[in-house]
Amino acid sequence: MTPAPIRVNEIFGPTIQGEGALIGQPTVFVRTGGCDYRCTWCDTLHAVDSAYRDEWHPMTPQAIMMQVDLLSGGKALTVSLSGGNPAIQPLGDLIDLGRRKGYRFALETQGSLAKDWFETLDILTLSPKPPSSGMETDWQKLAECVAAAGPDTKTVMKVVIFDDADYAYAREVAARYPELQLYLQPGNHTPPQPGEEDGGIDMAGIMDRMRWLVDKVTTDRLYTATVLPQLHTLIWGNLRGV
Ligand code: SF4
C-alpha cells in the first residue's frame, strides 16, 4: 500500500536541538505543516497559519528520508519531528523507514492527539500549553499520549513559562506526572509575524524570566524540574531554518 503523504513545511540541518531533553545535540529537523492549536505566542506561525499553506508540500517517507540523508551526509543521527503539530501527520512509515537506516526519532507535540506510532519513537516530548497560550489542556488527551508512547519510548514533559499562572500550571503537570522528567522553559515574547523572517528577540526579557524561574524552582524545592532556555534563540534569535 502506498504510504499517505506527509505535509512538510521545511527540512533543515544538521543543526543542534535547542530545547528540552536533547538540547545541544546534533539533529536534522523535519517540520510538518498544520496545527490544531493557535497559541498566542506561537513562534512557528509558518507551520501553523494557513497563510503559509503554499509552503507546505506533500512528501512521501522515502522523499523525506532522501532529503534527510543528503543533509546528514548519510550518517544517521536524531531526526526531530516538529511542527505545527506533527501528530496530525501520518508519520509511522517515515519513522519505520528511518529507524531501519539507523536514525533515531524525537517528536514534540502539545499532547492533543495520541497516535499508536508514538511507541516507535525514541523520545516523545509532550509540551502541554499553559494559560498564557490562550489554549485549554485536555488532560484526558494528554494521558492518552503518555499511554500511547508506552514503556519503550522515553517520554518527557516541557512547559513554556511566561508568568505565575503558567508556573502554577507547570506544577500541576509535575504533580500529575511525577515519574516524567519536566523541562521548564522561559517564554519568548516576540514571535515573527507573517511575511517576517525574524521577529526580533527580547533577550533581556528572556533572561529576566530565566532568573525568575530559577528562583521559583529553588524556592519551591521543585527539584524534579530542569530549567533551560531555548538555546537556538540565544544563538540565532527567531531566524528560521537554523
Ligand atoms: Fe504553535 Fe505549538 Fe501552539 Fe501549534 S501548539 S500553535 S505549533 S505553539
Pocket of ligand 1 (CB under 6 A): 35, 37-39, 42, 44, 48, 83-85, 110, 129
* pLDDT at 55 exceeding the cut of 60: yes
Is the pLDDT at 174 greater than 80? The verdict is yes
| Closest C-alpha residue for ligand 1 atom 8 | 42
| In the predicted structure, residue 181 carries a pLDDT above the cut 70 | yes
Read off the pLDDT of residues 72-111 as tens digits, 9 standing for 90 and up. 999 999 999 999 999 999 999 999 999 999 999 999 999 9
> Ligand 1 atom 5: the closest Cα is on which residue?
37
Separation of CA 31 and ligand 1 centre (Å): 12
pLDDT tens for each residue of 187-222: 886 655 555 555 567 788 888 999 999 999 999 999
Close Cβ partners of 158 (under 8 Å, ≥ 6 residues apart): 19, 20, 108, 125, 126, 127, 182, 183, 184, 185
In 3D space, the residue among 138, 121, 134, 185 whose CA is nearest the CA of residue 157 turns out to be 185
Average pLDDT over residues 168-195: 86
Question: Each residue of 118-172: pLDDT tens digit?
Answer: 999 999 999 999 999 999 999 999 999 999 999 999 999 999 999 999 999 999 9
pLDDT (0 to 100) of residue 179: 96
- For residue 9, the one-letter residue type is N
**Does domain 6-236 fall into CATH 3.40.50.1010?**
no
Q: Which of 49, 38, 47 is nearest to 81 (CA)?
A: 47
Going from the Cα of 187 to the center of ligand 1, the distance in angstroms, rounded, reads 13
Tell me what pLDDT residue 90 has: 97
Please state, in angstroms and as integers, the Cα–Cα distance from residue 55 to each residue in 10, 27, 34, 45, 103, following that order.
Answer: 8, 22, 11, 12, 26
Mutate which of 110, 158, 189 for ligand 1? The one with the most ligand atoms within 8 Å of its CB, which is: 110
Mean pLDDT computed over 15-30: 94
At 230 the pLDDT is 85
The residue behind cell 519531528 is: 81
Helix (H) or strand (E) holding 10: strand 6-16
Contact 214, 227 (CB under 8 A): yes
| Cα 188 to middle of ligand 1, angstroms | 13
What pLDDT score was predicted for residue 237?
74
Element (H, E) at 141: helix 139-149
The cell numbers describing 125, all together, are: 516530548
* 126/108 Cα distance (integer angstroms): 6
**Residue 84 Cα, ligand 1 centroid: separation in angstroms?**
6
Beta strands across the sheet bearing 57-59 = 57-59, 6-16, 26-32, 78-82, 104-109, 123-126, 154-161, 182-186, 225-227
What pTM was computed for the model? 0.93
For position 118, what pLDDT does the model report?
98
CA of 198 to the centre of ligand 1 (A): 17
Instruction: Answer yes or no: is pLDDT of 61 > 70.
Output: yes
Q: Cα separation of 79 and 57, whole Å? A: 18
